[in-house]
Amino acid sequence: MALPHQHLTPQEVSFICESELITIVPRQRLGALNLISIDTRPLVPPQRADVPLWLGIFLRKQKRCNIVPPEWLSVDNLERLVKEESDSAAFSRMPWRWLEVAEILLDTCSEDLISPSDIALHIRSLRELRQAKIRAGLSDQMNSSYIKINNLGLMEVSEIRPWVGKVVDGLRKIEGEAGSTAARRRKEDADGDEDMDDDDGY
Amino acid sequence: MEDIDDILREFDSQNAPSNAKDYDDLLKWWINERAAPEILQYQDDLVERIMTRVRRQIEQIEDQTGDLDPRTNFQLIIVQTELERVKFLIRSYLRTRISKIDKHALHILSTPSIRHLLSPSEQTYLRTHQALLNELYLSSFLKNFPDNLKRLDDKAGGLSMVEEPDLEGAVFLRVVRDVSVEIAWEGGETLDMKAGDIYVIRYSAVQDAVKRGEVELI
C-alpha cells in the first residue's frame, strides 16, 4: 500500500500553504541562502523581507523575527467579512488559503497580531457560517453532472471532498441506469416515429 | 560600465524565478496526481532538475557540517529543513504514481499509450513487479486450476479482471483560464467556466483541459 490516503490530508494542505510567501521583520542578521525552491536575499534588520511561511514561523519560534500579518487578517476586515457572510447566501471572496494561514499564525505568533482573541473569534464564526452554508447549499445543487461552488478555501474543499465525491458518484450510478432506460425509450420513440412516417409516405 | 557584482546579480535574478517556478510546478503536479483518477505524464525534466539541486544541497551540507561557527550552523539547519520538505514532495509524488501503477497494472501494461506516460524506472518496476506476482500466483495456487481459468486478464462473462481507472469519478477543480467544456452525457451541452470558479465535475469532461493547464485540480 504505497499511499494510505487517496485525498489530500489536512497536514498536506498545511504543507502546501507553508510554501506561500509572508512578510517578516527580522531581528537578527541572516545571510542570503541558496535553497532549492528559492534564493533568499540577506535579512538585515529592520528591513522587511518576504520569505516562505515555513521559514517565517521557524524564525519566529526562535524569536529571530516578527511576522507582519497579511492585510486581510485584521479585526476590521474580519468583522466586515462576517457581516458579508451572514447577509448573503453566496460565499464571500476569501483569500485562497485563509483558514490554514490564519490557524498557523494564531498558533505561533499571536503577539504579533492585534487583539488575537477577537481575530480567533471572528475566524471561528466565519468558519461556522460557511460550513452551514455549504451543508445547506449543496443539497440544493446536488446533481451528478457538475456542481459550482466559488470562493471556498482549500482546507474547506478538502473537508467536503470525501463525502461530496461519494454522493456525486452514487448519483451517477443511479442516473446511469435511469439514463440508459431513458435513452432506450427515446430511441424506441424515434423508431416509432420513423415507422409512422413510412406509413404516411405510402 | 557594469560592475561584476551587477552582472552576477542580474544572472541570479534570471535564475531565481526558474528555481521558484520549478518548485511551484512540482507542487502543482503533485496535487494533480493526487486528485486525478488516471496516471498523468511523468515530469522527467522537472524532477531531474530538482534532484540535481537536492544532490548539490546534500553535498553542501556535508561540506559545512563540522564547521562549529554557530552562524553557519543555523543556516545549515534552515537548509536541511528545506531539503526535507522537498524530499517529502518528491517522495509523495512518486508514491502516488506507484500506487496508481499498482492498482491498474495490467491495464497499463496492455495500453502502450499509457505506458509511455511512465518513466523508464517506473516501467521496469511495473514489469518486474507483475512478473513476481505472476510467479507467486502460479506457484501457490494457479497451477492447480483447470486451464481455462488460469488467465489473469479474463474478459469473459462481461466482467473484466483488468481494473481500469475510473474516469467518471468526481474531481474538484479550479479554473485557471476561461474555457468551455463539452458535457457529453447530457446531450452535448456546453459549460462555460470562468477563471477563478471552483467546480465538482466528472473527470472525463475536463480531462483535456487539465492536460492543457486550463484548469487545475485541487
Most confident of A32-46, A89-103, B112-126: B112-126
The predicted structure's pLDDT at residue B88: 92
Q: For chain B, where are the alpha helices, taking DSSP H only?
A: 4-35, 44-64, 70-103, 105-110, 112-115, 120-140, 203-212
Is it the case that residue B72 has pLDDT exceeding 80? no
CA dist B81 to A3, A107, B61, Å?
23, 20, 11
Q: Chain A residues with CB inside 8 Å of B197's CB?
A: 148, 150
Architecture of domain A7-68: 3-Layer(aba) Sandwich (3.40)
Planar angle of CA A102, A26, A52, nearest 5 degrees? 45
The predicted structure's pLDDT at residue B6: 56
Give me the mean pLDDT over the B103-121 stretch: 86
Report the mean per-residue pLDDT for chain A: 75
Q: What is the CATH number of domain A70-202?
A: 1.20.58.1020
Q: pLDDT digits over B197-212, tens only?
A: 778 877 887 888 777 7
Say which range, A21-35, B8-22, B98-112, has the weakest mean pLDDT: B8-22
> Distance between CA B116 and CA A97 in Å, rounded?
36
Q: Domain residue spans in chain B?
A: 4-164, 166-218
Nearest CB neighbour to A19, from listed B27, B81, B218: B27
On whether any CB of chain B is under 8 Å from the CB of A190, the answer is no
On whether any CB of chain B is under 8 Å from the CB of A148, the answer is yes
CA distance B64 to chain A (A): 14
In chain B, which residue's Cα lies nearest the Cα of A54? B82
Is it the case that residue A173 has pLDDT exceeding 60? yes
CA distance B119 to chain A (A): 17
Give me the mean pLDDT over the B153-173 stretch: 75
**pLDDT band (50, 70, 90) for residue B93:** very high
Give me the mean pLDDT over the A103-118 stretch: 75
**pLDDT band (50, 70, 90) for residue B16:** very low
Q: Chain A residues with CB inside 8 Å of B170's CB?
A: 164-165, 168-169, 172
Q: Chain B residues with CB inside 8 Å of A147's CB?
A: 199-201
Domain B4-164, classified CATH 1.10.357.10, yes or no: no
**pLDDT band (50, 70, 90) for residue A197:** very low
The predicted structure's pLDDT at residue B34: 87
Q: What percent of chain B has pLDDT over 90?
A: 14
Nearest CB neighbour to A36, from listed B83, B92, B205: B83
Q: Domain residue spans in chain A?
A: 7-68, 70-202
Which residue type does B73 have?
N
The predicted structure's pLDDT at residue B163: 78
In this structure, the number of other CB atoms found within 10 A of the CB of residue A86 comes to: 13
**At A21, which helix (H) or strand (E)?**
strand A21-26
- For B166-218, which CATH class? alpha beta
Q: Which A residues 158-177 touch B at CB under 8 Å?
A: 161, 164-165, 168-169, 172
Cell numbers at A50, concatenated: 518576504
The predicted structure's pLDDT at residue A190: 54
Is it the case that residue B128 has pLDDT exceeding 90? yes
Is the distance from CB of A31 to CB of A42 less than 8 angstroms? yes
Give the length of chain B: 218
Of A45, A67, A177, A58, nearest to A116 (Cα)? A67
Q: Across the interface, do A37 and B81 touch by the CB < 8 Å criterion?
A: no
Cell numbers at B173, concatenated: 477543480
Is it the case that residue A186 has pLDDT exceeding 60? no
Q: What percent of chain A has pLDDT over 90?
A: 0
CA dist B48 to A35, A103, B20, Å?
16, 35, 15
Q: pLDDT digits over A128-157, tens only?
A: 888 887 777 777 766 656 777 777 777 788
The predicted structure's pLDDT at residue A167: 78
Nearest CB neighbour to A147, from listed B19, B27, B199: B199
Q: Chain B residues with CB inside 8 Å of A7's CB?
A: 34
The predicted structure's pLDDT at residue B37: 85
Most confident of A35-44, B85-94, B170-179: B85-94
Is it the case that residue A28 has pLDDT exceeding 80? yes
Report the mean per-residue pLDDT for chain B: 80
